[in-house]
């Protein structure tokens, strides 16, 4: 057990997200597991990241693949045992890696013992642990709130003759955070893992933890705002509301302060997922001056839009908000919920490792911490999963216009020539099919190629560790025309400038100052002449020190 506040290791840290089902299958049953993760931690260490974030591995009926928790303190047998988790934790620590785990506090599975007790009676000790409401006089739901996965957020329960709230799947009832006993119980669940020695938590959907007690209707969203900075598709009715009352409620701030006090008592770190159409002010509140979460991330860079202007607006909005509250952000360009960035930000439909390198360089240049999703270091494109193999309920509900999240969750390719890409022993087909185009991008093959995405990822992360400004410096953007994005990281008189060419064409940008390249810079191919014209190749990146700052 650790005591005392966490060190600042998380500021500017790079966190590697592991989706257990698809990382490594150690026992050949087709599903990744905790021993499989442990066996591949040397690969993670070779990248030069600071921590791993392990997506849910708790006991669950797997309606949403672990984000529907039936027991917060037990490892689901498909992933292993508590002893397997302890072994993973010990091995990670021996390799110098911090370990963060998912905690899903806003809702549980409908198979959780708490929900079984709550739905059994309106009078029992757990009666108000979930969000129950009477129907309107005509039998319809109590208000117009919608589920992220489509349709009403209310489900009728014939035992209690009431509706219960589910912001996600019907099988994921929302906990009632207005009930003090619920808050106390959830803090105990977090304490259990703190006692076990984890270094931190990624809190799923943490702005969904309170609802408006008056159950007021949400107003409609402006047509221009639908889908603007959300991973929810514009054809999903959820995007058609302003979610003023079903999430991001002010009461959550007091709970987050209780949560922070608990984390601080163990020296653990809290990373919050904020899914909100206006995320920056919420993230700023949630990380304000060390009072609540340590850091938070949003979906701002997980959309399809990726012009230089859009990226600048999204990053600047968050940075401005966080500066006002002394908060801290975390960036990601891919995760288990969205199509992989290699395909999502692919303007011409052709694979291009130069573009993949640019997105990683951009991610690691922003102020804040960064999450790298498994396979991103390989430049994996989004996998095509046929409907008959689709597992994701979100995708099945919106097929064929939306194919769901499975394309980002297919197995990691470890060995190009091995059965199932080395994900397991090759005897049993994985839970999702291995995507054939991923095999040439396998870890073993890329490790032998100094020009590969994997080699670049290792080189870039090692180089970034030697650049203090990229970890903790302030940020400002410089005006530049499309397709250029130009930013500076600075601290006092120290300045580092980065220029990104977001197009597939060679382009020239005239600068105000000469840029002196930094020692050991992994960015090649740029040319600067005496007239301060910087010529960048397609998807080129250049980082350097303005000459007057270097003098």
Task: Clarify whether 376 is annotated catalytic.
Answer: no
Residue among 273, 276, 382, 406 flagged as catalytic: 273
Could you tell me if 26 and 36 are in contact, meaning their C-beta atoms sit under 8 angstroms apart? Answer: yes
Could you tell me if 524 and 539 are in contact, meaning their C-beta atoms sit under 8 angstroms apart? Answer: no
Give bridge partners of residue 296 from the DSSP assignment. Answer: 272, 329
Return the half-sphere exposure (C-beta side, CA atoms, 13 A cut-off) of residue 472.
Answer: 9
Distance (Å) of CA 89 to CA 44, 86, 94, 244: 14, 5, 9, 39
Residue among 50, 76, 102, 204 flagged as catalytic: 204
Spatial distance between the Cα atoms of 499 and 361, rounded to a whole number of angstroms: 10
Spatial distance between the Cα atoms of 129 and 131, rounded to a whole number of angstroms: 7
Task: Clarify whether 356 is annotated catalytic.
Answer: no
308, two tokens: 């230089």
Distance (Å) of CA 265 to CA 260, 338, 521: 9, 34, 40
Q: Which residues contact 539 (CB under 8 A, 6 or more apart)?
A: 352, 354, 355, 357, 358, 501, 502, 503, 504
77, two tokens: 């047998």
Spatial distance between the Cα atoms of 114 and 125, rounded to a whole number of angstroms: 10
Kindly give the pairing relationship between strand 98-103 and strand 132-133.
unpaired
Compute the chain's Rg from CA coordinates.
Answer: 23
In the chain, what is the straight-line distance between the N-terminal and C-terminal CA atoms, in Å?
49
Spatial distance between the Cα atoms of 94 and 470, rounded to a whole number of angstroms: 26
Could you tell me if 36 and 57 are in contact, meaning their C-beta atoms sit under 8 angstroms apart? Answer: no
Distance (Å) of CA 145 to CA 154, 215, 267, 362, 544: 8, 9, 38, 37, 50
Compute φ and ψ for 273, nearest 5 degrees.
Answer: -90, 120
3-state secondary structure of 279: helix
Return the half-sphere exposure (C-beta side, CA atoms, 13 A cut-off) of residue 355.
Answer: 21
Q: Left, alpha or beta for 197 (phi > 0: left; psi -120 to 50: alpha)?
A: left
Q: What's the residue count for the chain?
A: 551
Spatial distance between the Cα atoms of 321 and 284, rounded to a whole number of angstroms: 6
Active-site positions read: 204, 273
């Amino acid at each position: 057990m650790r005591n005392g506040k966490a060190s600042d290791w998380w500021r500017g840290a790079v966190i590697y997200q592991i989706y257990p089902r698809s990382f490594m299958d150690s026992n050949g049953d087709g599903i990744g597991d905790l021993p499989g993760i442990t066996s591949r931690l040397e690969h993670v260490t070779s990248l030069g990241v600071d921590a791993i974030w392990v997506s849910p591995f708790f006991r669950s009926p797997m309606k949403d693949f672990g984000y529907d928790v039936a027991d917060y303190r037990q490892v689901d047998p498909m992933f292993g045992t508590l002893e397997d988790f302890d072994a993973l934790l010990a091995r990670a620590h021996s390799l110098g890696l911090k370990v963060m785990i998912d905690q899903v506090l806003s809702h549980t599975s409908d198979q959780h013992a708490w929900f079984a007790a709550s739905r059994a009676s309106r009078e029992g000790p757990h009666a108000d642990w979930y969000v129950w409401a009477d129907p309107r006089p005509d039998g319809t739901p109590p208000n117009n709130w919608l589920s992220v996965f489509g349709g009403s957020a209310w489900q009728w329960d014939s035992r209690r003759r009431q509706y219960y709230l589910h912001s996600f799947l019907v099988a994921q009832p929302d906990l009632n955070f207005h009930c003090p006993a619920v808050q106390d119980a959830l803090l105990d669940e977090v304490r259990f893992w703190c006692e076990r020695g984890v270094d931190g938590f990624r809190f799923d959907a943490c702005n969904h933890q309170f609802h408006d007690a008056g159950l007021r209707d949400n107003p409609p969203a402006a047509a221009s705002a639908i889908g603007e900075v959300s991973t929810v598709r514009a054809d999903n009715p959820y995007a058609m509301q302003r979610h003023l009352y079903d999430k991001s409620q002010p009461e959550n701030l007091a709970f987050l302060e209780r949560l922070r006090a608990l984390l601080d008592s163990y020296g653990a770190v809290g990373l919050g997922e904020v899914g909100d159409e206006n995320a920056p002010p919420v993230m700023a509140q949630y990380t304000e001056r060390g009072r609540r979460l340590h850091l938070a991330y949003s979906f701002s860079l997980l959309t399809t839009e990726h012009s230089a202007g859009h990226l600048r607006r999204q990053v600047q909005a968050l940075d401005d908000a966080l500066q006002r509250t002394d908060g801290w952000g975390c960036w990601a360009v891919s995760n288990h919920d969205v199509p992989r960035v290699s395909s999502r930000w692919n303007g011409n439909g052709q694979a291009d490792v130069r573009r993949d390198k640019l997105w990683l360089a951009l991610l690691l240049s922003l102020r804040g911490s960064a999450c790298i999703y498994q396979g991103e270091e390989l430049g994996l494109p989004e996998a095509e999963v046929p409907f008959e193999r689709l597992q994701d309920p979100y995708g099945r509900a919106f097929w064929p216009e939306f194919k769901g999240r499975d394309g980002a969750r297919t197995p990691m390719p470890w060995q190009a020539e091995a059965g199932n890409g080395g994900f397991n022993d090759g005897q049993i087909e994985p839970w999702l099919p291995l995507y054939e185009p991923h095999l040439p991008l396998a870890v073993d093959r890329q490790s032998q190629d100094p020009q590969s995405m994997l080699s670049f990822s290792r080189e870039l992360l090692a180089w970034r560790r030697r650049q203090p400004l990229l970890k903790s410096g302030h940020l400002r953007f410089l005006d530049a025309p499309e397709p250029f994005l130009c930013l500076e990281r600075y601290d006092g008189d120290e300045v580092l400038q980065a220029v990104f060419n977001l197009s597939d064409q060679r382009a020239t940008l005239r600068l105000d100052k000469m840029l002196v390249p930094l020692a050991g810079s992994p960015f090649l191919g740029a040319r600067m002449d005496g007239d301060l014209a910087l010529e960048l190749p397609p998807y080129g990146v250049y980082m350097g020190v303005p000459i007057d700052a270097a003098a």
